[in-house]
């Protein structure tokens, strides 16, 4: 054998699994089709948000949270309704236990720290038993994605120096090796060296073949977000016709190949029609990978219009229900929407997802971070406003609508339709009471001091010249996460279609639907993807060692 265990994929789940395997006395070979510069995978590019329950950060912000409330939110969001959801539901229960129990202390002991203001993602807007977070739970890692990757990468690299881990970069797995029905290794193609920067598409030129053997194989290869063909192939019927135009929130190497390879070896792949894509994507004016898109993390004040200028229905407000909004968009006959807002809203409410878009948090630069409370938008946001192909800026509404039509070249926006939506919304600002649920929501959000401090603008008329200029932003559909995956039990063992383990094969992270083949069900509470990689990677390692 080349080592006790082979881990396929050097992303966060793979690093979590490898570090735990070493701690438990196993030798590990980490195999990845990309180079060493891509260590950490997608997690490196992330905003670093983590779902925690009843944390010290929450309590300091006056947030009362509990395991019971978090579980109520999870099941109301997940909507488990399939026979194959048995293991995903068990994983969800275990994960909520983890998030409300040892998760924070475990990460804190590894050196992970958190930004003190807790974010409120996926606010829901339905009933108490429906979708969404009842309270803020989105904890931003100090250092964003690189900050959460670093302690696990460091531990695995230290183990490499001690001879307990070997990395096999530029090794693309093409097949799982089966011996008498047991997975005993991997084989594949040795790819040509490529020193392109992290995230940039690399060559697939082949230099030869390889084969590796071990007692067990752990698949942590990620999902399908960079493979538009697979996204469209698995697109759920409940979401309408697959979109023709997409932007990508992940590099091209997030291709889903290992899911098919594991399935060919006998693994059960479930819930492949469950996926998590964002509706607030903007084209990156300075792209790193093909079709590179960035997600706007919006506060609740922007007016959200469809491609023809009609306002989206309640409660489809910015930051409330990602997939509910996606489902509605796919019924409109158009694949993009618009935010209409003011400079005042942009400065207070626009954040951009991604480590590279948040140099203050990523670089742990307190002086730069303090500028967020000063007048003016963060530098990366202003750069998109200036250079982004999806941004229109104007002093008056007629001029703005004309520029918005110029972005698409389709002329679908009629000024009178947009004017009516804007003026009707503005008329609701004259009183402290209103029938407009979005206005009620943004005023309510300011009852949380974290939102009032850095996240939600003071309510104002969009046509107030003091708040201008006016801004229109075209929002594209942005691919991101695979919610289904390889079905696993709580030890991370990959199951066959008959429900029995496929001997020798384990899975974790996005490849396993973050646990069980889809612990999120249909929808996510956010902050649960990185945490799902960590928890499932650790569980799979303990399953192998056990």
What's the rounded Cα separation, in Å, for the pair 439 and 301?
A: 8
Residue 291: the pLDDT is 97
The pTM of the full predicted model, rounded to 2 decimals, is 0.97
Tokens of 482: 């695979």
Can you tell me whether residue 352 is helix, strand or coil? strand
Residue 367: the pLDDT is 85
Span 520-541, pLDDT tens digits = 999 999 999 999 999 999 999 9
Contact 251, 261 (CB under 8 A): no
Q: What is the DSSP string of 92-156?
A: HHHHHHHHTTTHHHHHHHTT--B-SSPB------S-TTSSS-SS--EEEBTTHHHHHHHHHHHHH
Kindly state the average pLDDT of the residues 30-38: 98
Say whether pLDDT at 47 is over 90. yes
Q: What is the DSSP string of 498-530?
A: TSSEEEEEEE-GGGBTTTTTTTTTT---SS-HH
Kindly state the average pLDDT of the residues 459-487: 97
Tokens of 409: 């070249």
Residue 375: the pLDDT is 80
Mean pLDDT computed over every residue of the chain:
97
Tokens of 387: 């250079």
Residue 212: pLDDT band (50, 70, 90) is very high
Residue 152: the pLDDT is 98
Proportion of the chain above pLDDT 70, given as a percent = 100
Span 261-313, pLDDT tens digits = 999 999 999 999 999 999 999 999 999 999 999 999 999 999 999 999 999 99
Strands of 206-213's sheet in order across? 171-179, 182-191, 206-213
What's the rounded Cα separation, in Å, for the pair 443 and 431?
A: 12
Say whether pLDDT at 184 is over 90. yes
Span 151-183, pLDDT tens digits = 999 999 999 999 999 999 999 999 999 999 999
Span 79-89, pLDDT tens digits = 999 999 999 99
């Amino acid at each position: 054998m080349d080592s006790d265990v082979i881990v396929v994929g050097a992303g966060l789940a793979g690093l979590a699994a490898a570090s735990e395997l070493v701690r438990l006395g196993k030798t590990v070979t980490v195999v990845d089709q990309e180079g060493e510069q891509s260590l950490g995978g997608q997690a490196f590019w992330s905003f670093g948000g983590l779902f925690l329950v009843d944390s010290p950060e929450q309590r300091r912000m006056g947030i009362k949270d509990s395991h019971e409330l978090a579980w109520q939110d999870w099941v109301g969001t997940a909507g488990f309704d399939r026979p194959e959801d048995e293991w995903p539901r068990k994983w969800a229960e275990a994960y909520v236990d983890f998030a409300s129990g040892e998760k924070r202390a475990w990460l804190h002991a590894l050196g992970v720290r958190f930004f003190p203001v807790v974010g409120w993602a996926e606010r829901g807007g339905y009933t108490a038993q429906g979708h969404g977070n009842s309270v803020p739970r989105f904890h931003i890692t100090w250092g964003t994605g690189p900050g959460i990757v670093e302690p696990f990468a460091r531990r695995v690299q230290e183990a490499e120096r001690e001879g307990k881990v070997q990395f096999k970069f530029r090794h693309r797995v093409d097949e799982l090796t089966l011996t008498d029905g047991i997975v005993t290794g991997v084989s594949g193609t040795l790819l040509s060296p490529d020193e392109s920067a992290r995230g940039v598409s690399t060559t697939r030129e082949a230099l030869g073949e390889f084969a590796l053997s071990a007692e067990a194989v752990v698949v942590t290869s990620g999902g399908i977000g960079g493979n538009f063909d697979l996204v469209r192939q698995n697109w759920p019927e409940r979401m309408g016709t697959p979109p023709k135009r997409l932007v990508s929130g992940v590099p091209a190497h997030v291709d889903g190949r290992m899911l098919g390879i594991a399935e060919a070896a006998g693994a059960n792949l479930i819930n492949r029609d469950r996926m998590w894509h964002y509706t607030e994507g903007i084209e990156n004016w300075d792209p790193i990978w093909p079709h590179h898109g960035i997600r706007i993390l919006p506060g609740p004040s922007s007016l959200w219009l469809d491609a023809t200028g009609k306002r989206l229905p309640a409660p489809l407000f910015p930051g409330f229900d990602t997939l509910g909004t996606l489902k509605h968009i796919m019924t409109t006959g158009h694949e993009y929407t618009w935010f209409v807002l003011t400079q005042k809203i942009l400065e207070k409410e626009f954040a951009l997802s991604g480590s590279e878009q948040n140099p203050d948090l990523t670089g742990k630069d307190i002086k730069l971070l303090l500028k967020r409370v000063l007048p003016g938008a963060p530098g990366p946001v202003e750069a998109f406003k200036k250079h982004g192909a999806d941004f229109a800026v104007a002093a008056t509404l007629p001029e703005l609508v004309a520029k918005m039509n110029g972005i698409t070249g389709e002329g679908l926006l009629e000024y009178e339709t947009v004017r009516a939506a804007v003026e009707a919304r503005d008329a609701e600002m004259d009183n402290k009471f209103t029938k407009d649920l979005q206005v009620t929501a943004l005023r309510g959000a300011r009852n949380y001091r974290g939102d009032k401090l850095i996240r939600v603008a003071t309510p104002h008329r969009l046509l107030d010249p003091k708040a201008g200029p006016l801004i229109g932003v075209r929002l594209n559909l942005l691919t991101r996460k695979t919610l289904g995956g390889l079905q696993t039990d709580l030890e991370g063992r990959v199951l066959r279609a008959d429900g029995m383990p496929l001997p020798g094969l384990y899975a974790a992270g996005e490849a396993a639907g973050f646990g069980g083949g889809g612990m999120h069900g249909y929808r996510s509470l956010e902050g649960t993807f990185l945490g799902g990689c960590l928890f499932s990677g650790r569980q799979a390692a303990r399953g192998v060692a056990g």
